[in-house]
Amino acid sequence: MDAKAKKFIDPLITNDGKERAYVDLKELKTLWFNSGTRCNLHCQNCYIESSPTNDRLAYITDSEVVPFLEEIKTEKYPVELIGVTGGEPFLNPHMIPIIIETLKRDLEILVLTNAVNVINRYKEKLIEIKNTYGDKLHLRISLDHHTKEFHEKERGENTFDKTIENIKWFTQEGFNISIAGRSLTDENLEQATRSYEELLKKSDIKIDLENGKLVVFPEMDMNRDVPEITTECWGILNKTPEQQMCSTERMIVKRKEDEKPTVLPCTLLAYDHQFDLGETLKDSKERVQLNHKFCAQFCVLGGASCSSAK
Ligand code: SF4
Ligand code: SF4
């Protein structure tokens, strides 16, 4: 076995015999639903491997979502935001009822979308929802890079202009819009923010990116060898368990082979059963051992947070 293959095996102990880092749930602030893994795009580096044919996570329905929304209310969890990720959420035929069920319980909702074609069929309905619930509906649109070249290298041809057009349309219609980018090139966050600002200005789009409306995610290289995180690493890296998403978040998925949805610690680990936390939020409070390369690459070393922009 090479060194890479020996890593991320024992949930409690790392390959070099040290105590593996873990994260306890502090309080549940953001609850994500995965809408299903089908996507109209097939991006080169989709961390959840979505595509037009991937149906490993089924379309979750509003009747499967509602019990979790009810649980939030009855158990008085301090949830501030419901997030929906995919795949492309607007491919899920239950998306509009899911949004309405959330908003009518006085919870804010953030829906992540690639804004290429599929969302267009729901524009009228989304305007009605915005007129009723205002800023409580957030849309985060993925614009992987501020240049067409790098964006389309990742997302495929004819995606950049359509995304820009829809960012413009939704902004002009008064929707609460944020942008999700990726660090595809060597620029730092400040340089990237300036370049996104220039692009928006040139495209006559008014979003104040200084106001938490741009989140740039670290790029994931699935084949890169990454170190395991031990409890000693927190001090060395000057990071804390409380900074990790799984300290304040959970995600609900509906695997196609399962009868019921499953609760997971975060949006990143949809397929790995060692991270299954049960069927209710109450069951899902157990400690999360950081026994996955994404824990190191994306979170602890990459410093990402999925809900850092609304
Ligand atoms: S649009 Fe998003 S979900 Fe779809 S393939 Fe690309 S990264 Fe994955
Ligand atoms: S990937 Fe990140 S958020 Fe998910 S369990 Fe690992 S450390 Fe926690």
pLDDT by residue (tens digit) across 263-273? 999 999 999 99
- Domains assigned to the chain: 22-300 (3.20.20.70)
Residue 202 C-alpha to ligand 2 middle, in angstroms? 37
Looking at ligand 1, which atom is closest to the CA of residue 39?
A: 4
Burial 127-160 (b: 16+ CB within 10 A, else e): eebbeebeebbbbbbbbbbbeeebbbebbeeebb
Residue 56 C-alpha to ligand 1 middle, in angstroms? 14
40 lines ligand 1 (CB under 6 A): no
> Between β-strands 22-23 and 288-289, what pairing exists: parallel, antiparallel or unpaired?
antiparallel
46 lines ligand 1 (CB under 6 A): yes
Burial of 301: CB neighbours in 10 Å, binned 0-12, 13-18, 19+: middle
Residue nearest to atom 6 of ligand 2 (CA): 295
Residue 179 C-alpha to ligand 1 middle, in angstroms? 14
Q: From its phi and psi, is residue 182 left (phi > 0), alpha (psi between -120 and 50) or beta?
A: beta
What CA–CA distance (Å, rounded) separates 95 from 98? 5
pLDDT value of residue 143: 97
Burial 190-224 (b: 16+ CB within 10 A, else e): eebbebbbebbeeeebebebeeebbbbbebbeeee
The pLDDT averaged over each successive group of 10 residues in the chain (310 residues) is 79 96 98 98 92 97 98 97 98 98 98 98 98 97 95 95 98 97 81 93 93 82 86 95 97 97 96 97 96 92 58
pLDDT value of residue 4: 66
Residue nearest to atom 7 of ligand 1 (CA): 46
Q: List the helix and strand counts (H, then E) for the chain.
A: 8, 10
pLDDT value of residue 309: 40
Residue 163 C-alpha to ligand 1 middle, in angstroms? 13
Which of 20, 29, 294 for mutating ligand 2's site (highest number of atoms within 8 Å of CB)?
Answer: 294
What CA–CA distance (Å, rounded) separates 262 from 177? 29
pLDDT value of residue 306: 52
Residue 70 C-alpha to ligand 2 middle, in angstroms? 25
Instruction: Tell me the whole-structure pTM to 2 decimals.
Output: 0.94
